[in-house]
Chains A and B, each alone.
Chain A
Amino acid sequence: MKRAVLLTMLAVLFALGGCGSQARVWRLTDVRGHLPDLAFTLTDDTGKVVDAADFRGKLVLLYFGYTHCPDVCPLTLTHLHVLMQRLGPLADRTRVLFVSVDPARDTPAILHAYVSAFDPHITGLTGTPAQIEALAKRYRVAYNRGPTLPGGGYEVAHSAGIYLFDRRGRARLLATDADPIGAIEHDVRGLLGTAP
Chain B
Amino acid sequence: MSRLQRIVLAFAATVLATPAFAAGIAVQQPWVRWLPADLPAAGYATLVNTGDMPVTLTGVSSPDYGAVMLHRSLNRGGMERMVTVNSIPVPPHGRAALAPGGYHLMLMQPRRAIRPGQQVTLTFTFGDGRTITVQAPVRPANASG
Contacts and interface: CB of A to CB of B under 8 A. Distances in A.
A16 B104 CA distance: 51
A163 interface: no
B67 interface: yes
Interface residues of B, number: 31
Interface in A81-136: 81-82, 109-110, 113-114, 116-119
Given A114-B36, A114-B37, A117-B140, A70 B42 contact: yes
Given A71-B42, A158-B79, A159-B80, A119 B35 contact: no
B15 interface: no
A160 B80 contact: yes
A177 interface: yes
A70 B75 contact: no
Contacts of A70: 33, 35, 39-42, 104, 106-107
Contact of B78 (A78, A110, A161): A161
B73 A81 contact: no
Contacts of B40: 68, 70, 153
Contacts of B34: 117
Given A75-B101, A78-B144, A117 B79 contact: no
Interface of B: 33-37, 39-42, 67, 71, 73, 75, 78-82, 84, 100-101, 104, 106-109, 140-144
The 7 closest A-B CB pairs, nearest first, are: A117-B141, A157-B81, A113-B36, A70-B42, A75-B100, A81-B142, A113-B37
Interface of A: 67-72, 74-75, 77-78, 81-82, 109-110, 113-114, 116-119, 142, 146, 149, 151, 153, 155, 157-161, 176-178
